[in-house]
A and B are shown apart, each in its own frame.
Chain A
Amino acid sequence: MWELIRANKRNSIILMVLMAGVLLLLGYIIGSIFDPAGGFFGLAIAPQHQLQSPQMIKTNHAGLWGIAFAATLWFILMLISFSSGDQILLATSRAKPVTHDNYPQLFNIVEEMKIAAALPAMPKVYVIPDPAPNAFATGRNPKSASVAVTAGLLGRLNRDELQGVIAHEISHILHRDILYVTLAGIMLGSIVLLSQVFLRSMFYSSMMGSRRRYSGGRGGSQAQFAMLVIAIIAAIIAPIMAYLLYFALSRRREYLADAGAARLTRYPEGLAGALEKIANDKSPQLATVTKVTAPMYIINPFKKKKQMKLSDLTSTHPPISERIKILRNMTHGASIKDYSDSFTSVTNTKTPVPPAALTKEAVALREASAEARKKERVEKQMRQVGDIMRRINEFVFLTCLCGIKLKVPPNYKGNKVRCPRCKRIHDLPKK
């Protein structure tokens, strides 16, 4: 677990440096545009005879100004979100602070997870009066963190499932994800803002006419034009790159928080059940959410009509069915390594867990709490009775690879059937 936190920090720093590079480069290129001497590529593109002039040999001041501007922008956004970032998020989601007196179970569960994760202080607990089931955590460090859940979530989940959700959020706090998501979000915000400002100013200045046409001769204006094209391309591509990096980070962190939740509760089924309930929920999407705050939530608060493969690159969360499958596939133990093994066997891709965190440790799974066990027993009996009835009525039974049992009625037309959970297509046996 400690190795995971450390590896997380290292990866985040790499990402931050990459993003900072993109931001500063963008600032440099955009700044260079405003340099009458031809700027960034001036030395390379300008004709030979101009190279001799003292004007060209001097450093690219406008490019440096661009960098300074980008850095200032980043610094201001940083200052705002660091002084009151979590407060802004909590306020915009209309979260109300609660205590042990009005929400004893929620408060107890948060405290249980705080103990399990050995956090230095009790996180503040908030409830959002919204029927859509969702939850998020915020706060820069484990000492001053907050956990918020919606009223819809409290109404739908049992104790074990709520515990799974809270454990997921506490894992985000423990892994310092909020800090890095915030930092990366600010970086992303600065890049988007900078390129927007630039593209708009380009648009308007071209509308106003050729105000900035320089008397530097033919060579100079050619370089100018090339520079302009490069800057515009950069301003379009940089935000896209930054978005993709941001989303990649946020998806990876979701998997790691799931792994952490399984390890803290020793009961992956709790979180799996909760995710299933949240995914199948029919209530309207959360009222107070934006694209930037979306990665903070336990599942993507935006409802999609169809889950397409293409959207995988730009989504902030991994597909929920996959997260459930991975959690349900953890049958040997609840350690981070067990999660990683389950991940590779379910998705056939590289594990999101940093190699340093894959230490062997024996973490036994826990049984369901008495309340959930009893309910499960009753449901199982009901299902068995139902199955007997269906067998009498000549239903066809198929077992899907994802573990679900398909029951096909005898009057079903066609010879293929699709699994409702994993969407695999099965052939029906001939009668």
Chain B
Amino acid sequence: MVPLIIVVVVLVVLIIFVVGIYNALVRLRNQVDNAWSQIDVQLKRRHDLIPNLVETAKGYMKHERGTFEAITEARSKAMGARNVSEASKAEGALGEALSKFMLVVENYPDLKANQNFLSVQEELTSTENKISFARQSYNDQVLFFNNKIQMFPSNIVANSFNFDKRDFFELEAPAEREVPKVSFT
């Protein structure tokens, strides 16, 4: 009788333990998903802001057609991205194009005094920040989740219920490693 009780008690404790770990893992996975959706929202917002930005700046910057085209092209590529790795490449390129644009803007004092442009610029700056903070928080969550999945004892539960590792989201800036071209024309 006594051994039976011990076995039952051990089993019950074990089940409670497993349920606890399982619930913690589900909660973490939801947090990761939520953090990802935050990035997604901000990326979409950036796509929405760009036409507005281009429209406001066009009148002032007649000689910067190349810059505008680069932004528009990067935007349409980013909007067409189908998976995470494609998106991180395209969004990285878009970010690059935008920061180049912001540097060019420095040469147009009239544009910088335009109230409409200033508000679009603030929105864009903030959206850029939000993307990078959302990425930061997503990567934190992913790190925490992946650690949990790989560490004992939660790895046993994670393996038997198919919790998969998640990828970090890094914005790749392709131009960052290139040497800037200088031309005197």
Contact = CB atoms under 8 A, between A and B. Distances in A.
Interface of A: 1-2, 104-105, 108-109, 111-113, 115-118, 159, 163, 264, 266, 361, 369-370
25 contacts: A1-B140, A2-B144, A104-B123, A105-B126, A108-B122, A108-B123, A108-B129, A109-B126, A111-B130, A113-B133, A115-B38, A115-B130, A115-B133, A115-B134, A116-B133, A116-B136, A118-B34, A118-B38, A118-B140, A159-B125, A163-B129, A264-B133, A369-B125, A370-B102, A370-B103
Chain B binding surface, main DSSP class: helix
Nearest to B140: A1
Interface in B108-134: 119, 122-123, 125-126, 129-130, 133-134
Nearest to B144: A2
Nearest to A371: B125
A104 B102 CA distance: 20
Interface string B7-42: 000000000000000000000000100110010001
Nearest to B131: A115
A1 B119 CA distance: 34
Contacts of A159: 125
Given A118-B38, A264-B133, A369-B125, 9 more contacts: A104-B122, A105-B122, A112-B133, A113-B133, A115-B133, A116-B136, A118-B34, A118-B137, A266-B136
Contacts of B129: 108, 112, 163
A104 B116 CA distance: 13
B153 to A, nearest CB: 18
Interface of B: 31, 34-35, 38, 42, 102-103, 119, 122-123, 125-126, 129-130, 133-134, 136-137, 140-141, 143-144
Nearest to B126: A108
Contacts of A109: 126
A147 to B, nearest CB: 16
Contacts of A116: 133-134, 136-137
A59 B42 CA distance: 67
Nearest to A363: B136
Contacts of B31: 118
Of B38, B129, B130, the most chain A CB neighbours within 10 A belong to: B129
Nearest to B31: A118
Contacts of A105: 122, 126
Contact of B126 (A1, A112, A117, A266): A112
Nearest to B102: A370
A264 B134 CA distance: 11
A111 to B, nearest CB: 7
Contacts of A369: 125
Nearest to A109: B126
B141 A118 contact: yes
A115 B125 contact: no
B148 to A, nearest CB: 11
Contacts of A2: 144
Contacts of B122: 104-105, 108
Contacts of A361: 143
B174 to A, nearest CB: 19
A107 B150 CA distance: 39
Nearest to B132: A366
Contacts of B34: 118
A288 B133 CA distance: 34
Contacts of B140: 1, 118
Contacts of B38: 115, 118
B78 to A, nearest CB: 19
Nearest to B134: A115
A104 B124 CA distance: 12
A115 B36 CA distance: 11
B126 A118 contact: no
Query: Which 7 pairs of residues, A with B, have the shortest CB-CB distance?
Result: A108-B126, A116-B133, A118-B137, A115-B133, A112-B129, A115-B134, A112-B130
Of A111, A117, A266, the most chain B CB neighbours within 10 A belong to: A111
Nearest to A362: B143
B138 to A, nearest CB: 9
A158 to B, nearest CB: 12
A118 B31 CA distance: 9
B89 to A, nearest CB: 21
A278 B122 CA distance: 24
B137 A117 contact: yes
A113 B132 CA distance: 11
A2 to B, nearest CB: 7
A113 B126 CA distance: 11
B101 to A, nearest CB: 12
Of A163, A361, A370, the most chain B CB neighbours within 10 A belong to: A370
B137 A115 contact: yes
Of A108, A118, A266, the most chain B CB neighbours within 10 A belong to: A118
A400 B126 CA distance: 38
Contacts of B130: 108, 111-112, 115
A117 B138 CA distance: 10
B123 A118 contact: no
A113 B141 CA distance: 16
A118 B35 contact: yes
A330 B148 CA distance: 29
Nearest to A100: B123
Contact of A104 (B35, B119, B141, B144): B119
Nearest to B99: A370
Contacts of B123: 104, 108
Of A105, A111, A112, the most chain B CB neighbours within 10 A belong to: A112
